Amino acid sequence: MKRLARSIAPHLVLVVFSAIIVLPLLWVVRVSLTDKLTAYKIPPEIGSIGSMNYSAIFTSYPFTTWFFNSLIVALITTMIALPLATALAYVFARWNTGGVALRLGVLASQMLPPIILVLPLFAMFLMAGLMQSRISLIIAHLTICLPFLSWMLVSFFEGDVARLEEAARVDGATRWQAFIKIAVPVAAPGLLAAGLLGFILSWNEFLFALVLSGPDTQTLPVGLAGLETHAGVEIAPLAAATVVSLLPVFLLLPFLRKHLIKGLSLGALK
Site for another protein, residues 138 to 197, rule: CB under 8 A: 139-140, 142-143, 146-148, 150-152, 154-156, 158-160, 175, 179, 186-190, 192-194, 196-197
Query: Any contact of residue 63 with another protein (CB under 8 A)?
Result: no
Inter-axis angle of helices 235-251 and 63-95, nearest 10: 50
The two beta strands, 232-233 and 228-229, are antiparallel
Residue of 1, 5, 24, 59 interacting with another protein (CB under 8 A): 24
Residue of 1, 10, 170, 172 interacting with another protein (CB under 8 A): 10
- Rounded CA-CA distance 218/137 in Å is 10
Distance of closest approach, residue 83 Cβ to another protein, in angstroms: 9
Query: Any contact of residue 14 with another protein (CB under 8 A)?
Result: yes
The distance from CA 186 to its chain's CA centroid, rounded to whole angstroms, is 22
The footprint of another protein on residues 211-240 (CB under 8 A) is 211, 214-215, 218, 220-222, 224-233, 235, 238-239
Query: Any contact of residue 129 with another protein (CB under 8 A)?
Result: no
Contact yes or no for 69/162 (Cβ under 8 A): no
Residue of 1, 4, 120, 172 interacting with another protein (CB under 8 A): 120
Query: Any contact of residue 59 with another protein (CB under 8 A)?
Result: no
Q: How many residues does the chain have?
A: 270
DSSP string over 95-115: H-TTHHHHHHHHHHGGGS-HH
